[in-house]
């Protein structure tokens, strides 16, 4: 197991852009196969139907091209680890907007095609050092694209949960980026070195105040798989349930993360 990271994590902008487009393509292909009955099914997101969820995913991606269409802010005020807290207050508006978008666009295949073309064109014409005006504040474009991997991966999992057998694949780089961003968000919110959180094969972070581990086996360890971690971090799965179902291993008196999760919901 590699050591926990002590420096800010860096990402390859070109790989991030490719990952966003690839995962959107995976979802787009799957949505095109859904029947009217499947689109009307409920999801684990409250009152959202599968159609509402599918429409929301286009909103998450379209937000990139819309941000690029607005005037460039003077500076970037937010980083990718600010995403979860900065957007929490907009949850109600997002849900309402997703429902209205779904109603206004009965042809989801056409909606996805239009959104896909617009983000392709926007990214092809935009340099990496562009600052964009997001809903919550100014952010570097490639930092904002990192947050789109969270949206795409989390909602891919939501779609797979809502439609048995759909099995939308995960772009490996998009999944890795989502896992790492959420792990680093935990470490930023609960700084310290007493607990090691492992999400193989993508991330290891140290967090929680207390005696810092320096060598050998850490006294406090949490370990889980990527999708379980994402579900815990986003409120799709409760800590106690994950423990009961042996989906997460936690050893040590400081290995209880129930008071820190979810990071976003």
**Total count of domains within the chain:** 2
Rounded distance between C-alpha atoms, residue 163 and residue 180, angstroms: 27
State which residues form the domain around 55: 13-173
49: which DSSP letter? B
Q: Name the strand (E) or helix (H) holding 132.
A: strand 131-133
Q: Does any domain span residue 2?
A: no
- Let me know whether 32 and 151 are in one domain: yes
Question: What CATH number has the domain bearing residue 211?
Answer: 3.30.1050.40
Q: Is there a contact between 102 and 163 (Cβ–Cβ < 8 Å)? A: no
The length of the chain, given as a count of residues: 265
Q: Is there a contact between 154 and 56 (Cβ–Cβ < 8 Å)? A: no
- Residue 250 pLDDT: 97
Q: 221-224 and 248-251: which strand pairing?
A: antiparallel
- Residue 214 pLDDT: 62
Q: Can you tell me which residue has the tokens 């966003």?
A: 20
Q: Does any domain span residue 260?
A: no
Long-range Cβ contacts of 187-193 (<8 Å, 24+ apart): 188/81, 189/260, 189/263, 190/260, 193/4
- Residue 11 pLDDT: 95
Query: pLDDT tens string for the chain (265 positions)?
Result: 344 445 579 999 999 999 999 999 999 999 999 999 999 999 999 999 999 999 999 999 999 999 999 999 999 999 999 877 877 777 788 889 999 999 999 999 999 999 999 999 999 999 989 999 998 899 999 999 999 999 999 999 999 999 999 999 999 999 999 999 999 999 999 999 999 999 999 999 999 998 766 666 778 999 999 999 999 999 999 999 999 999 999 999 999 999 999 998 7
Question: What CATH number has the domain bearing residue 84?
Answer: 1.20.120.450
- Residue 1 pLDDT: 39
- Hey, which residues does 131 pair with through a beta bridge? 140
Q: Can you tell me which residue has the tokens 């991606």?
A: 61
Rounded distance between C-alpha atoms, residue 31 and residue 200, angstroms: 29
Rounded distance between C-alpha atoms, residue 88 and residue 69, angstroms: 24
- Residue 14 pLDDT: 95
206: which DSSP letter? E
- Let me know whether 38 and 168 are in one domain: yes
**SS3 category, 78:** strand
- Residue 88 pLDDT: 73
The residue from 173, 201, 219 where one domain ends is 173
- Let me know whether 193 and 136 are in one domain: no
Among the listed residues 1, 61, 63, the one whose alpha carbon sits nearest the alpha carbon of residue 27? 61
- Let me know whether 157 and 30 are in one domain: yes
- Let me know whether 50 and 104 are in one domain: yes
- Let me know whether 127 and 236 are in one domain: no
pTM for the model: 0.94
**SS3 category, 83:** helix
Q: Is there a contact between 171 and 189 (Cβ–Cβ < 8 Å)? A: no
Rounded distance between C-alpha atoms, residue 64 and residue 70, angstroms: 10
The residue from 119, 147, 173 where one domain ends is 173
Alpha helices, DSSP H only, in the chain?
Answer: 13-31, 36-39, 50-69, 83-87, 91-104, 108-124, 141-162, 172-189, 226-233, 239-244
- Let me know whether 52 and 26 are in one domain: yes
Strand order in the sheet with 195-199: 203-207, 195-199, 221-224, 248-251
- Residue 90 pLDDT: 77
Name the packing angle between helices 108-124 and 50-69 (round to 10°).
Answer: 30
Q: Does any domain span residue 262?
A: no
């Amino acid at each position: 197991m590699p050591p926990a990271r002590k420096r800010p994590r860096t990402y390859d902008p070109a790989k991030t852009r490719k990952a966003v487009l690839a995962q959107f393509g995976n979802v787009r292909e799957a949505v095109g196969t859904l029947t009217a009955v499947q689109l009307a099914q409920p999801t684990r997101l409250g009152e959202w139907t599968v159609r509402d969820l599918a429409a929301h995913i286009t909103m998450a991606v379209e937000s990139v091209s819309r941000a690029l269409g607005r005037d460039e802010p003077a500076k970037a005020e937010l980083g990718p680890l600010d995403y979860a807290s900065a957007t929490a207050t907009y949850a109600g508006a997002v849900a309402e907007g997703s429902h209205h978008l779904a109603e206004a666009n009965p042809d989801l295949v056409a909606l996805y095609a239009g959104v896909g073309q617009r983000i392709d064109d926007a990214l092809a014409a935009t340099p990496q050092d562009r600052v964009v005006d997001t809903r919550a504040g100014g952010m570097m474009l490639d930092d904002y694209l990192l947050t789109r991997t969270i949206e795409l991966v989390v909602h891919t999992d939501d779609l797979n949960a809502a439609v048995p057998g759909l099995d939308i694949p995960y772009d490996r780089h998009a999944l890795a980026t989502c896992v790492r961003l959420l792990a680093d968000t935990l470490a930023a919110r609960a700084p310290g070195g007493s607990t090691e959180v492992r999400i193989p094969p993508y991330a290891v972070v140290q967090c929680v105040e207390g005696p810092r581990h320096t060598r050998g086996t850490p006294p406090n360890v949490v370990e889980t798989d990527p999708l379980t971690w994402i579900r815990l971090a986003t409120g799709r799965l409760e800590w106690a349930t994950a423990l009961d179902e042996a989906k997460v291993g936690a050893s040590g008196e400081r290995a209880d993360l129930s008071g820190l999760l979810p990071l976003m919901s």
